[in-house]
Each structure stands twice: as C-alpha cells, then as structure tokens.
Structure 1
Amino acid sequence: MSLLEVNALGISFGGLKAVDQFHISIEKKELYGLIGPNGAGKTTVFNLLTGVYQPNTGEILLNGKNIVGSSCIEINKKGIARTFQNIRLFDKLTVLDNVKAGFFQENSYSFIEGIFRLPRYFQKEKEMSDRAMDLLSVFHLEEHALDLAGNLPYGKQRKLEIARALATNPSLLLLDEPAAGMNPNETEELMDTIRLVRDRFDMTILLIEHDMKLVSGICDRLTVLNFGQVLTEGKTQEVLHDEKVIKAYLGE
C-alpha cells in the first residue's frame, strides 16, 4: 500500500479548474518531485493535501485512510507536515523555541501547571527542549539555539523550517520550493540535508521545485503538472528527457 494515494483530485475557483483529475501515488521513504511552470497548480495541490483548500472532487488517501474534509490541524496530526516557498518562521522567537513550537500538539501539561510553573511544567519543557536540541543537531543548528530565528542566514532558516516541520512527527513531508533564493553552494548543501532527512527519519518526501539540478539529483520519481492536469509521470531521468516536458517546461 502506498503511503499517499491521490485519485481524481480537483478544485475550481470561480469556474476555473485550478486542479483537474490530479493523481499521484507515493511509496514509503520515496523522494518524489512535483514540477511544472508557475501557475501550473503545484501549490494548490499542496494546499489540498494539507487541508487549506477542500477539493470539489477526488480522494486523498494517507496510509489508506481518506483525509478529505479534515482540517489543517487534523491533517498535521494524521502525519502530513509542510514548509513554504516564502519562509514562515517565528522571527522574534529563538531557534530553539521555533522547533519547540512544532511540539504544540503533544503539550501534556495543563494550563494551570503552565501558569503557576508547577513541577510537571518544568519537566515537560525540559523534555521538549532536549528533543528540539536533538533535531537542531541533525541540521548543525545547535550552536544557534538561542539566536533569534530572523537573524539566521537564509540557508539556515530553510533548515530550521524543515526541523520545525519534523517536530510534528510526520510520515509525509511536503517541501515547497526549498531551494528558492539559494545560491549554488547552499543548494548543494540542501540536497544533502534532504537526503539526510529521508534516511535519518525514514521520511517520505514530496517536493515542489524549479531547480532542475536539485530535482534530478535527489528525486526518485516525478509528476509534471500542466495547467492543473498531469502531463506525465515516471522515473526522474525518463521524465526530464520526455519531449513534452522539455518543450513545455525546460524551454529547450
């Protein structure tokens, strides 16, 4: 059984079909790419998968269970986390507190215990801090734990956003243009980071990306979206050498 199975997914805005009959099947621990030009509907697909939008048609099966109709928070609890093209960190919080925010759904001390700083509050806060530091160490960000997130260099902010997403303990991680705004050296480092996340956490990853070097370097398979519809899908190198893809997206 696939980790994610999407069938006949569709949504319209004002009579315009933004996504139409979209389908995708992703296996556990697969690193999968969703590519296409601006306006093709890629981010709309992400918004459908995470409950930001509710589809007009179709089903989204996560571990065999249909999650259509679930809220963003419910879907996150069921195992889907995401990052965004435009980084959405809590700039005025520390790096450590940004990761701890990912544990919000696990907070096991009561409101009263938090207000009066009872022993259970300190115990749980320490547990979350230790876990957050473990995550930061994976991304070599532990030395920045007490820095404000907004003061990190751009590439490290990208890593922090992934670390915070992982704090929600997902089974499927959605990365929305993770290489956007990065220089070539940062992109190379990001590729290593994504591979590490997949291997270290047995993570299944679906990413949107325009950087074809990154896509060709890390993705097992691809789906190409064209005006909200699937143009083609398959193994990465086969897709990238498909004449339809070259003509429509690579401009060659």
Structure 2
Amino acid sequence: MAMLEVKNLGISFGGLRAVDDFNLSIEQGQLYGLIGPNGAGKTTIFNMLTGVYKPTDGKIFLDGEDITGKSTIEINKEGIARTFQNIRLFSDLSVLDNVKAGLHNQKEYEYSTLTGILRLPRYHQAEKAMNEKAMELLKVFELDGEADYKASNLPYGKQRKLEIARALATNPKLLLLDEPAAGMNPNETKELMETIHFVRDNFHMTILLIEHDMKLVSGICEKLTVLNFGQVLACGETSDVLRNPEVVKAYLGE
C-alpha cells in the first residue's frame, strides 16, 4: 500500500479549473518530485494535501486513511508536515523555540492552559522534555550551537534547515518541501541535497518536493510527476521524465 495515494484530485476557483484529475502514488521511503512551470498548480496541490484548500473533487489517502477535506491541524496530526517556498519561521523567537513550536501537536508534551499559568509540575515536565527533544533535532542539523539565537539572525541556508527541523518535530510520515532550494547559492544547494538525503535515510521519511532547480531534482528524486496547466503531463522515473520531449518543450524550454 502506498504511503500517499491521490485519486482524481481537482479544485476550481470560480470558473477557473486550477487542478484537474490529478493522480499520484508515493511509496514509503520514496523521494518524489513534483515539477512544472510557474502557475502549473504545484503549490495548489500542496495546499490541498495539507488542508489549506478543500478539493472540489477527488480523494487523498495517507497510509490508507481518507484525509480528504480535513483541517490543517488534523492532517498534521495524521502525519503530513510541510515547509514553504518563502521561509515561514517565527523570526523573533529563538531557534530552540521554533522547533519546540513543532512539538506542541504531540500528546506527550501537552498540558492545559491553567497548568501553564500556574507552572504546575506537569508544565515543567513537558517543557523539559520538549527542550531535550528540540535540542536533539537541532544537533542533527548542526544548529544546537545556535539554539539561543533569534531565528532571523541565522544565515539563509541555516534558516532552511531550521524550517525542516521544525517540520520534523511534528513527527510526520510524509514531509512536503516547497522549493527548498529557492534563493540558495550552489554551495547551499549542495548542502541541502545532503540534508534531504540524510532526513530520508535517518528519519525513515517519505518526501515529496516541489523544485525548479533541475540539478537538485535530478540528483535526489527517484520519481517525478510533471504538472502543466493543472494537469499531469508526465510521470515516472526521473531520468525518463526529464528526457520526455513533451516535458522538455513545456517545462525545460529546450
């Protein structure tokens, strides 16, 4: 059974059909790419997968469970986390507190508002556990030395790493990366490729990413789906898809 199964997904905004009859199947542990020209509907699909938009039609299954139309919070608890093309960190909070924010969806760290106000023992237990878990994640990404820095003071490449660390703090099954290499220089992109491989292999993560950097896509994605004008143009093994004449014409512009 596929980790993510998307069947005949579609959405309309007024009279505009933004995505039509979209199908996707991703196996556990796969590193899968979703590419296409600007405006093809890629981020719209991410928004449907994460509950930001409710599909007009079609179904979304995560580990066999129908999550179609559920709220963003519900879908996150079911096991989907994402990053964004434009980094959305809590810029005025510390690096540590950004990761801790991702832990609050898990029952083991929950406490009531009253418990927090009164600083009851459960509050201290949960905060201690969250600090320890957050530091573990930061160490993985070599950000533990900057735990007390404001997130906005990190270099761009490290902000990307922090956003991935925060997403992983929600304990997802499926990680969606929205143009993670956007704005990066070649050295940062190379490091990002290593980071994504590390996350997949060490966290046993299934990853779906949107990306325009073809060097990154060809270097890490095992399979690709190409979207054009809201419809699937091609899908399959990465090398085969990137050689597809229709893909070359519509997307690569060669």
TM-score class, shorter: over 0.9
- Between the aligned partners of 1:78 and 1:108, the Cα distance in structure 2 is 17
Report the equivalent of 1:114: 116
State the AA in 2 paired with 1:242.
N
Report the equivalent of 2:61: 61
Report the equivalent of 2:128: 126
- Between the aligned partners of 2:252 and 2:110, the Cα distance in structure 1 is 50
TM-score scaled by length of structure 2: 0.98
Secondary structure of the structure 2 residue equivalent to 1:92: coil
1:31-50 Cα deviation digits (max 9, x unpaired): 00000010000000000000
Report the equivalent of 2:22: 22
- Between the aligned partners of 2:134 and 2:2, the Cα distance in structure 1 is 30
Shift of 1:109: 2.0
Secondary structure of the structure 2 residue equivalent to 1:34: strand
Q: Is the Cα–Cα contact under 8 Å of residues 141 and 165 in structure 2 kept in the other structure? A: yes
Shift of 1:131: 0.3
- Between the aligned partners of 2:243 and 2:89, the Cα distance in structure 1 is 37
Tell whether 2:185 aligns with 1:189: no
Report the equivalent of 2:75: 75
TM-score scaled by length of structure 1: 0.99
Report the equivalent of 1:92: 92
Secondary structure of the structure 2 residue equivalent to 1:238: helix
Report the equivalent of 2:50: 50
- Between the aligned partners of 1:87 and 1:237, the Cα distance in structure 2 is 30
- Between the aligned partners of 2:212 and 2:157, the Cα distance in structure 1 is 17
Q: Is the Cα–Cα contact under 8 Å of residues 33 and 224 in structure 2 kept in the other structure? A: yes
Secondary structure of the structure 2 residue equivalent to 1:174: strand
Secondary structure of the structure 2 residue equivalent to 1:11: strand
2:150 to 148, 151, 157: 148
- Between the aligned partners of 1:21 and 1:105, the Cα distance in structure 2 is 32
State the AA in 2 paired with 1:111.
T
State the AA in 2 paired with 1:98.
N
Shift of 1:62: 0.5
1:197-237 Cα deviation digits (max 9, x unpaired): 00111000000000000000000000000100000000000
Q: Percent identity?
A: 71
State the AA in 1 paired with 2:226.
V
Deviation larger for 111-120 or 207-216: 111-120
Shift of 1:121: 1.2
Report the equivalent of 1:162: 164
Corresponding residue pairs, total? 252
Report the equivalent of 2:41: 41
Q: Is the Cα–Cα contact under 8 Å of residues 104 and 110 in structure 2 kept in the other structure? A: no
Shift of 1:10: 0.3
Following TM superposition, the consecutive aligned residue runs of length 4 or more in structure 1 with deviations greater than 4 angstroms are none
1:20-41 Cα deviation digits (max 9, x unpaired): 0000000000000000010000
- Between the aligned partners of 1:19 and 1:137, the Cα distance in structure 2 is 40
- Between the aligned partners of 1:119 and 1:59, the Cα distance in structure 2 is 44
Secondary structure of the structure 1 residue equivalent to 2:132: helix
Shift of 1:14: 1.4
